[in-house]
Structure 1
Amino acid sequence: MMFVSRLRNWAEHSVGAAESDDAVVVKTTRYLRLAIVTMVIGLSTAVLYEHSKSHLKGVDSGHCWQHSISAYYYTPVQSVFVGALVAIGISLIALKGSTELEDVFLNFAGILAPVVAFVPTPNVGECGSILTDTTNRGTNISNNVTAVLVMAGVAFLVLGALRALDRPVTGVPGAPAHADEASAHRIAVYGYGLALALYVAAWVVFLADREWFNANAHWSAAITMFVFIWLAVVNNAINFHFTRKKVVAAQHAAEEAGGAKPPKRVNRYLAIALLMPAALVIILATPWFGDYDTIWLEASMIALFAVFWVLQTQELWNHGLRSPDTRTGALQQPQGAEERDAG
C-alpha cells in the first residue's frame, strides 16, 4: 500500500509540462540536430567495421572498399544504412529552420532521404564480408516505395485539410506576429505546391515506367537531396551574415554607450557552402580517385553535412533558432563561443 500511495502521489504531482514551452522547443531542436550527427557517426562506423571484415568476391583475404557508400546496402551495413537515412529524413522534416526557406530546403531533403534508402543502387559491387544479390530488389522497391508514397499522400491530405480549416500545422495560437510573416507564408505555400508536384511526378513515373524508376530513382533522389542540403547551408550562411550584421549594429550602439566591444565571428557556414562544390569539382576532375570517385564524393559530402550540423548545434545550443537579441545586442550562441570565433 505504501508503494501505491507513493505512486499515486508522484502521478498527481507530475501533471502538466515539466518545463516551459521555450525550453521544450530549444531542447527538441537540440536533440534533433544531435540525432542527425549521431546517425552519420553510426553509418560511418558500420561502413568502417564492414571494411575491416571485407574481401573481394572470390578472394578469402584482404580488405577492400565498395565503389560507393550506397553499395554497402548489399553488405551487413544494410540495416544501419536504411535506418540512418530514414531517421535523418524524419529529423530534417521535423526540424524547423531559422528561416522559412531553410525549412523548405530541409523538408525536401528529408522527403528524399527515405527514397535513397528504399530504392538501393543497382550496383552491387564486389567487396564485402557477405554480399547479397539483387534477386528481390524489384519486389522490395515496389513494396517500400508504395508504402512511402501512400504515407506521403496522407501527409499532404492532412496538411491541405488543416489549411482549409484555418488550422495550419505551422500556426501557433498566441504567437507574436512578425514583420515578414506574409513572406514566410508565401514561401511555405510555394514549397507545399512544389513538393506536391514532385510527389505526383514520382507516382506517375513509378506507375508508368517501373524499370526506369528502379534503375534511376536512387541516384536522382541522392543527388537532389544533397542539392537541397547545400541550399540549406547557403541559406544559413546568408542568414547568419545578416543576423550578425544586425547584432553588430546593436553592439556598436551599446559600445558607444560604454558597453563592451563586439566580438568578430567567422561565417563558418559560408566555408561549408564553398567546400561542398569545391569537393565535387576536385574529386570528379582528379584522375587519382579513379573508380572510387563516387565513394570519395559521398564521404566528403556526408562529412561536411555532419560538420554543418555540429556547427549549428553549437551555435544554437541554448536558443534553438537563430535570431538577434535586440535587448542585449548579442547573437544567440553557446556560452564561451565568442572568443573562439574571433578572426
Structure 2
Amino acid sequence: MSTPVITAQNLAKSYRVKGKPDFVAVDGLSFEVTAGESFGLLGPNGAGKSTTMKMVGAVSSRTGGSLSILGLDPDRYGPEIRSRLGVVPQQDNLDAELNARENLYIYGRYFGLPGKVCRERAEELLSFAQLEDKATAKVDQLSGGMKRRLTIARALINEPRILLLDEPTTGLDPQARHVLWDRLFRLKEQGTTLVLTTHYMDEAEQLCDRLVVVDKGRIMAEGSPATLIREHSSREVLEVRFGSDRNEQVAPQLAGIGDRVEVLPDRILIYADDGEAALERIHALGLEPVTSLVRRSSLEDVFLRLTGRSLVE
C-alpha cells in the first residue's frame, strides 16, 4: 500500500455568522489519498466539497481535526505545500491579455522557475493539451474546451505531485469532455495524484479509483465506483412510464417486484438484479407501461439514494 499523500482525520470547518450559531461547512471528514490515486469528492451544492478542497489546497485553515498534505500541516507550511500542488479552479482564470504560451510561461515564473525551464515546459504542455497550433492565440480566441485544457496545462507547469480539480469539465460539450478525460487519464498513468470534485457521475466512474459521497459536511459513503454501486444499488434498473397522472396509482401494484420501487413524477424506477424479468412480471399483472427501459445501475443512482432528489439551495 502506497504512503498517503493526503490524510484527514475528523477534519472540520465552521464559519461565524453574526447573531446566529456557527455555520458548519465540513463536519468531521476522515479520508486518505495515496500517491498516484485518482480520488473524487462527490456531493450536492453546499455539501462541503469546495471548502474541503480549499483546506487541502492550503488556502483555508481548518477549525478542527488534523490534515496532512505530503507529510506537512497546511496551517503551518502553506507556501511549501502550495509549491507542490497544481490547482484547476471551477472557473477558468487565465490572463486574457496574454496568449496561450505566455499564460504558461508567466505562471511558471510565479513559482520561481528559470525562464529557460518555463519555455521548455510551456512547449511540452502545449503539446500535452493539444494546443500547439493555438500557442500564439489570445485566450478570448479559444473555445471553452481549449481554455479548460490550457488551465490544466498551466496547473502542471511546476510539475505538481498533487493536482486539485474543481468541476473540471463543467459547461463543456461531450467531445471536449472526452478529450479532457484522456488528458487526465494520461496524467494518472504518469503517477500524478488527482483529487477532483464533479457533478457528472459518469465522469466520476471514468476517472476515480475511489471516492467519497459527502452531504451536509459529512461522508455518506466511501469506496470505488463499482463497490458503491454494488453496496447501495441493484445490478439493473427498470424505468417504466404509465403517464404522469397514473404512476402513483400503479405503484402499489408493483410492490415486491425487484429490490426497491421509487416513484418519480414522470416515471417509476424498479431496482432489480434482472430488469427484463421485472418487466415480464409487470406484464403478467396485466399492466402495460407506455415506455420501458432496462439499464445498468449507475453511480448516479447511488448518489441520489444517499443525498436525495430534492434541490438544496
Considering fraction of residues, name the structure with more strand. Answer: 2
By percentage of residues, which structure has more helix?
Answer: 1
- One fold, TM greater than 0.5? no
Scaled to the shorter chain, the TM-score interval is: under 0.3
Q: Which has the higher contact order (CA 8 A, sep 6+)?
A: 1
TM-score (norm 1): 0.21
